[in-house]
Every structure is written in structure tokens, then in C-alpha cells.
Amino acid sequence: MKKTLTLVLLTVLLSACAPWNIDIGNFHMSGGEQPAVTAVAPTQSVSTGQGGPSNDSPSQSNAKIQPPSYEIKGAPYKVTAYRWADGVFNENVCTLPGGKDFCGKPGVVGVETEAERKANPSAALISPDSQESLENATATKFVHEGGYQLTTTAGVVMKFGNYSIVANPQPDVEWQIYLRGRNSGPGDLNLDVNFSRYHPGATTVTQYQVKENAGGFMDQPYIYQQAANSHLYNCGLQGCKVVYVVFFDVNNGAWTILRHTNATGWTLVASNVVAP
């Protein structure tokens, strides 16, 4: 009787905190955009976001913005950011909300000429060898040791190591998913990433292979440019109205999701990163 009463009281209290939904049986919780992510255990979580119309910023735009529909499995419920002792980047200069653990100025960029690559240790040459459109029903690519991988897609399932990311398709939405590779060390630390449930021909994977100890952070202006490209060229002639940017560190499972719209700018959606 006491256990039943406790569960009833817990359910009543949590039901007042909509939009959360509680499943007492398996300790699975889900909700819309909330900085506090869902968890099934103290050290691992199943983090979800479910689309439901919300007016993001009535003062700036009357358009309804769908919160992201996603699922992240295997990552810690909370984690401190992984720091690379490379001495190349100053993460404090990143002004993206919640992005200072993943971006910097300068940082990793994609360039088009060999001269640009040689002039910048954090520059990766973009070519058919490093950028590929996924044409088949499934694919396997790897994120380079000490580098980054960017997946641009309308929706995808990605599985790598003990982690998985599910980004569900939504109208006028594009996902940009940045994976930070394993830090440089002995042996081959490249990591296979398995892709499924994407639209063949409309999903692009770009590899950023840079010099050792030069890949700690993505370049903030470069992140801006990738989001701008989506608004201009993808999702049909009108461009993508919403871009969700995911940063995920395979070293420790740290992740952050940001949203960008032309009307509201950059917004922190959710993250499992906490201050040290």
C-alpha cells in the first residue's frame, strides 16, 4: 500500500510538469525540449525529444516551430566535457549557446585547395574522397581519429561503438550531426559509423581528417556557414526553415543539440554536458 501511494504521488507531481510523460515500469521518461534529458540508469540514458507545436519566440516570429524528434542511446545522463590538451584552440571564444565544448575560433574547417590545407593544421581538404552522398539503403563510414565527421540529412539512424542517434524526419527540417572522433593515441582509433533509415541521395557524410592534436573543436564560422547553406539550398526551393545541429563526442558520450532559424537565431535545445 505504501509503495502504491508513493507511485501515485510521484505520478501526480510529475504530471504537473507537462510536457513530460512517465513510464514507471522501465524508468523511461520523454518530453519535448528540456535541458534535463531522460535517463534509464544513473550512468546511461535514452534521451528523446518528441515533436509538438510550440511558439519558439512570439516576439520575433509568429511561425510555429516543431521541437526536434530524436533519440540518443548509450550516452551518460550527465557528463563533463572532454578536453583535448592540444594547445591549439581556445574554446571560450565560442559564442554558440551551449557550444563552447565543441566549437572554437579558430577550429576545424573544410577547404577546397591543397594550399589552404597546408596553411592551416586544422583544415581538411573537401574532395570526393572525404565527402560522399549515401546512395544505398545502408552504409558504413568512419569518423577519423582526432578529427570530425559531419552528416547532413533529413533523417537518419547512426550507430557507432555503444552509442546510437536517431534523427527523425520532419517537414522543412534538416539535421547536421557532428561526431568528434577519438583523441589521437596508439593504434588505429578510427571508428566505424553505421547508417540506416535515411533517404538515399539526400544524405551527405563529410570527413574532416586533420593533423594530430588539431581537431579538438569545429570552427564556429564554419558551423554558421553550414547552417546557412541548409536554409538556402536544401528542403526544396524555399530552403530548410529549421536546422538542428547535434554535437556528439565519441570519447565520452557528451552531446549537445542546437537549433537555428533565420528568425530566432541559435537556441540551445538539450545537452547532457555539465560544468566540471
> For 86-132, how does the pLDDT look when each residue is reduced to its tens digit (9 = 90+)?
444 444 578 888 888 888 877 888 888 989 888 888 888 888 889 99
Quickly tell me which residue has 579538438 as its cell: 216
| pLDDT over 60 (residue 255) | yes
Q: Are 26 and 53 in contact (CB under 8 A)?
A: no
CA angle 211, 151, 266 (to 5 degrees): 95
Mean pLDDT confidence for 264-271: 94
Q: Are 182 and 142 in contact (CB under 8 A)?
A: no
Helices (H) and strands (E) in the chain, counts: 3, 21
Quickly tell me which residue has 556557414 as its cell: 225
Mean pLDDT confidence for 187-203: 92
Q: pLDDT of 127-138, one tens digit each?
A: 888 999 999 999
Backbone angles phi, psi at 227, to 5 degrees: -65, -40
Q: Report the mean per-residue pLDDT for the chain.
A: 77
Q: pLDDT of 64-77, one tens digit each?
A: 677 899 999 999 99
| Measured CA distances, 86 to 89, 152, 212, 274 (Å) | 7, 28, 9, 22
pLDDT at 271: 94
Highest mean pLDDT among 69-83, 163-177, 234-248: 163-177
* C-alpha cell of residue 148: 570530425
Identity of the amino acid at 228: A
Q: Return the number of other C-beta atoms located less than 10 Å from residue 249's C-beta.
A: 24
Q: pLDDT of 143-157, one tens digit each?
A: 988 889 999 999 999
pTM score over 0.85: no
Cα 249–chain centre separation: 9
